[in-house]
A and B are shown apart, each in its own frame.
Chain A
Amino acid sequence: GQQLNQSPQSMFIQEGEDVSMNCTSSSIFNTWLWYKQDPGEGPVLLIALYKAGELTSNGRLTAQFGITRKDSFLNISASIPSDVGIYFCAGQLQGAQKLVFGQGTRLTINP
């Protein structure tokens, strides 16, 4: 249904490694967004995607809106300690007035 399946749920990596996470759904989404939540804070938007196939970068972050409109991925290159946090995908169904959030990916970085 409207659920977003985000994976992996958690990642433990070394500083400098690249990271990849994704979201999939059985529903078609109009918009895909990626947010990051730091401890004790609210989520902050990283990247917004509005067209199928769109590939967008924000510094070391790259995200793509899947061609089928049912998935999206987020890559982080050359991770640094401040990348630690929880990353959420979020999608807007066509005509819907709300965002549905994935379960989150908790990223931990070992220095």
Chain B
Amino acid sequence: DTAVSQTPKYLVTQMGNDKSIKCEQNLGHDTMYWYKQDSKKFLKIMFSYNNKELIINETVPNRFSPKSPDKAHLNLHINSLELGDSAVYFCASSRGGLAGGLDGGELFFGEGSRLTVL
């Protein structure tokens, strides 16, 4: 059973289009995240949600809109795609929030969604 699953795994689309990536976790975790990994493999947090509430919005363009219908799902919708949006997007979850506690720090990542904007 996949713990954190995201779809699609690959997405190729034209500039200006709108696309969504879905993520689901079956670990019972309270917190979910979206990370972006660029071509140099640098991982940068975009958003985090704790129990459906937005916790972190890391100066991401407002073309990116996360939505968490429940604590097991965090989807990412991207409007008006640009070339620079091409990257691998990783969904992750953690048992609690990261603000203290030994539960903090362990992120469970999905396999990633490779977005290519042409």
Contacts and interface: CB of A to CB of B under 8 A. Distances in A.
B43 interface: yes
Contacts of A103: 40-42
B44 interface: yes
Contact of B102 (A43, A44, A50): A50
Contacts of A88: 43
Contacts of B99: 95-97
- Chain B interface size, as a band, is 20 to 34
B106 interface: yes
Interface string B35-72: 00000111111001000000110100000000000000
B90 A42 contact: yes
Nearest to B98: A97
Given A31-B104, A42-B112, A48-B106, A98 B45 contact: yes
A51 to B, nearest CB: 10
B105 interface: yes
Contacts of B81: none
A66 interface: no
B43 A101 contact: yes
B4 interface: yes
Nearest to B55: A97
A98 B109 contact: no
A99 interface: yes
B109 A43 contact: yes
A98 B43 contact: no
5 contacts: A42-B110, A45-B106, A92-B105, A95-B100, A96-B99
State the 10 A-B residue pairs at the shortest beta-carbon distance, nearest first.
A42-B109, A101-B43, A31-B105, A97-B98, A104-B41, A98-B45, A97-B99, A33-B105, A45-B106, A43-B109
